[in-house]
């Protein structure tokens, strides 16, 4: 994971939220620690309010409707025109 900035950020926040562990290098002791804590981590995910992709898919449908008219209007306004 070293050098993979986005993955490092994801791992940092998963660790911070208690959903996973960040490991810069894979070693037997880090794998052992992860496996030992797996029930605890899985328990935290039981309370995670997963909502699926419905909201983003609906928004994409809105933006691409009418030949992307809403997206084109947003772009026009953003450019000040």
pLDDT digits (tens, 9 = 90+) for 28-46: 998 999 999 999 999 988 8
For the entire predicted model, the pTM comes to: 0.54
The residues near 64 (Cβ < 8 Å, ≥ 6 apart) are 71
- pLDDT (0 to 100) of residue 2: 65
Write down the pLDDT at residue 59. Answer: 87
- Residue 52 pLDDT > 90: no
Q: How many CB atoms lie within 10 A of CB 81?
A: 6
């Amino acid at each position: 994971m070293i050098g993979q900035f986005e993955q490092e950020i994801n791992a940092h926040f998963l660790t911070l939220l208690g959903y996973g562990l960040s490991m810069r290098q894979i070693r037997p002791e880090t794998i052992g620690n992860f496996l030992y804590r797996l029930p605890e981590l899985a328990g935290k995910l039981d309370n995670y309010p997963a909502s699926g992709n419905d909201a983003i898919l609906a928004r994409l449908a809105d933006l691409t409707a009418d030949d992307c008219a809403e997206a084109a209007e947003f772009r026009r306004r953003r450019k000040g025109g």
